[in-house]
Copies of this chain bind each other. A is one copy, B any other.
Amino acid sequence: MTRYETLADEIEAAVQRGVFGAGERVLSVRRASRQYGVSIKTVLHAYALLESRGVIESRPQSGYFVRGRANGHAPGGAAGPAAAGSGNPGSAGGSGARRAAKPPPAAPTPAPAQVDVSRLVLSTLRNIRVQDAVPLGSPYPDPSLYPWRRINQYANAIARRHASWNLIDDLPPGNPELIRQIARRYAENGAPVDPDEIVVTVGATEAINLSLQAVAKPGDTVAVESPTYYAMLHAIERLGMRAIEVPTHPALGIDLDALARVVARQKIAACMVMPNFQNPLGFQMPDERKAQLVELLGAREIPVIENDVYQELYFGDTRPSTLKRFDTRGLVLHCASFSKSLSASYRIGWAMPGRFRAQVEKLKFLNTLTTPSVPQVALADYLRHDGYDRHLRRLRRFYRQQARLMSAMVLRFFPAGTQVSEPQGGYVLWVELPARIDSMRLYEAALARGVTIGPGYMFSMRNDFHHFIRLNYSYPWTSQTEAALKMLGELVASMA
């Protein structure tokens, strides 16, 4: 145990003993530093860890408080009682504070944990930023792989072309030339779309949020994969809906029989899936299953939100098909972005919302008015003039190699009983550890050693993935990567 972990445990123990009650302020950072004889940095680190465990929260200009009772107003649907319910149909989500349970070290299997998913994810991302850790836990691709400089050159050229820029030109649905370029990509990949259906958004995150809001309302139940990409859970949580998790096969995708039983048994307002290179599993759903999924839901008029952000990062010969292709009813809301294939920092995504297009366009207008113009036009110019296909071919080849390398290294360094996914695209590996490993404990221990991982808790409201982790293999392989994996393997062995 490092110094800050010890301190965090001491303070958590004090909270559990009631020394600091729910809603009460804990020691100021300065005072804790004096009192425990540690550095300010160690205290901050310990408090960050306690925040990620859901024990305390920081309030601006006020300090750190024990979670449990909000003072004054309850945030609307954002956290606490209104958050997405548990995966068990019929059972209400827990109210009040949630925390990542830290099982007693001696226990043979981890205790059930309830986790505030978005808090955990944000805390994980922060730790990557602040600590300059080996970013195995990052959800984002290595930015150095992307043609950032080229795209900015197009942005520069725009500045020379135009003396000014009129916001009105790029009101929703978005810049017309960018929309045309997006439609052209689909057509070139043998899946023509109607450009008039496209609404440009601030990344796929906004596209998913708007799509969900267009088809479901607070209190509704939404079916998701299990494990699922946490942005799906975020959207559900934020809009005050409830998630029901459907078992998902690591190679075939969402279990259609299980889904059929769910929709037969209860009212499902929408289904959110990632049929291509799902994060974290990495599968590519076979075409016939995509068709079956669309038919199963379509027969009941259930809209399906298709998150296809990894569409360009396939390891096979051609871009995989989409659910959209099989949709005859206008019920598929297809969401994607350039963030994984071209530029994450430009934040350009889009939705093709089928029959819900008018609602999504209106919600876009209400949510952020319009997507920034210059990034839209710069990407349109890049797509029209530059070597996007060449860039993508290189990127796919690199990721395919990295996937193999990372799998081999994990299997080499981790103890027996470890299993890995077989990604068909994208840049993340899903690793199953021996069942008694708690991924939050592993996360904390690894963080203390300068390595981040994605704990399985991020991908489910349930406890099924407590012993899974997600690893990012987009960063070029270095001796540091190898040392990080070796260290992780040793940690797992010591915990097993």
> Would you give the shortest CB distance from A62 to chain B, in whole angstroms?
7
- B152 A164 Cβ-Cβ under 8 A: no
The reply on A367 being an interface residue by CB < 8 A is: yes
Task: Decide if A246 is an interface residue (CB 8 Å cutoff).
Answer: no
A139 to B148, CA, bound (A): 34
Q: Is there a chain B Cβ closer than 8 Å to A78's Cβ?
A: yes
- A355 with B218: CB separation less than 8 A: no
Q: Can you list, as one digit per residue, whether each of A348-389 has a CB less than 8 Å from chain B (1) or not (0)?
A: 000000111111001101111111111100000000000000
- Contact between A143 and B129, CB atoms less than 8 A apart: no
A366: B residues at CB distance < 8 A:
78, 118, 205, 209, 234-235, 237-238
- A248-259 CB contact bits vs B (8 Å, 1 = yes)? 000000000000
Q: Does A266 contact B (CB under 8 A)?
A: no
The minimal Cβ–Cβ distance linking A401 to chain B, given in whole angstroms, is 20
Task: A76 to B367: give the CA distance in the assembly, Å.
Answer: 14
- With a cutoff of 8 Å between Cβ atoms, the chain B residues found around residue A301 in the complex are 72-73
**Which chain A residues in 218-244 approach chain B with CB under 8 Å?**
218, 220, 234-235, 237-240
Which residues of chain A from 179 to 236 have any CB-CB distance to chain B below 8 Å in the complex?
A: 194, 196-197, 202-203, 205-206, 209, 213-218, 220, 234-235
Residues of B within 8 A of A292 (CB): none
* B356 and A75 form a contact (CB under 8 A): yes
- From the candidates B73, B194, B197, name the one contacting A215 in the complex (CB within 8 A): B73
- Determine, out of A26-34, A155-163, A281-289, the stretch whose residues face the partner at the interface: A155-163
Asked if A60 contacts B213 (CB within 8 A), the reply is no
A131-170 contact mask (Cβ, 8 Å, vs B): 1 or 0: 0000100101001101011001101101100111111111
Is A457 at the interface (CB under 8 A from chain B)? Answer: no
Of B203, B354, B371, B375, which one neighbours A374 at CB under 8 angstroms? B375
With the chains together, A215 CA to B73 CA distance in Å? Answer: 6
Determine, out of A10-18, A91-99, A119-127, the stretch whose residues face the partner at the interface: A119-127
From A35-43, A312-320, A339-347, A409-417, the one touching the partner chain is A339-347
Interface: A273 (CB within 8 A): no
Does the CB pair B140–A163 fall under 8 Å?
no
Report how far A373 CA is from B370 CA in the complex, Å. 16
- Whether A355 pairs with B79 at a CB distance below 8 angstroms is no
Q: Which residue of B has the minimal Cβ distance to A218?
A: B218
Rounded to whole Å, the gap between the CB of A28 and the closest CB of chain B is 15
Interchain CB contact (< 8 A) of A138 among B168, B209, B356: B168
Contacts of A394 in B (CB 8 A): none
**Which residues from chain B contact A494 at a C-beta distance below 8 Å?**
none
> Complex Cα distance A214/B73, Å?
9
Q: Distance (Å) between the CB of A212 and the closest chain B CB?
A: 8
CB <8 Å contact, A126 and B78: no
A25 to chain B, nearest CB (A): 13
Q: Select A60's contact among B75, B218, B347, B357, beta carbons within 8 Å.
A: B357
A144 nearest CB neighbor, chain B only? B164
Q: Which residues of B contact A197 (CB under 8 A)?
A: 60-61
Give the distance to chain B from A373, nearest Cβ to Cβ, in Å. 4
Known interface pairs A76-B216, A205-B369; A118-B362 also in contact (CB < 8 Å):
yes
A356 to B301, alpha carbons, bound, how many Å? 39
Closest chain-B Cβ to A219's Cβ sits at a distance in Å of 9
A303 CB to nearest B CB, Å? 6
Asked whether A390 is an interface residue with its Cβ less than 8 Å from the other chain, the reply is no
Contact A214-B372, Cβ < 8 Å, known A60-B197, A128-B168, A366-B209: no
Is residue A269 within 8 Å, beta carbon to beta carbon, of the partner chain?
yes
Chain B residues with CB under 8 Å of A158's CB are 152
* Contacts A60-B194, A78-B213, A152-B159 supplied; 17 other A-B pairs, CB < 8 Å: A59-B358, A72-B303, A72-B331, A73-B269, A75-B214, A75-B215, A75-B363, A140-B167, A149-B164, A152-B374, A167-B345, A206-B367, A209-B366, A238-B363, A345-B372, A345-B374, A372-B375
Q: Which residues of A come within 8 Å of B, CB atoms?
A: 57-62, 71-79, 82, 118-119, 122, 125-126, 128-129, 135, 138, 140, 143-144, 146, 148-149, 152-153, 155-156, 158-159, 162-172, 194, 196-197, 202-203, 205-206, 209, 213-218, 220, 234-235, 237-240, 269, 301, 303, 330-331, 339, 343-347, 354-359, 362-363, 365-375
Residue contacts A-B, CB under 8 angstroms, 9 given: A59-B357, A60-B196, A72-B301, A118-B362, A118-B366, A122-B171, A149-B164, A156-B156, A234-B366
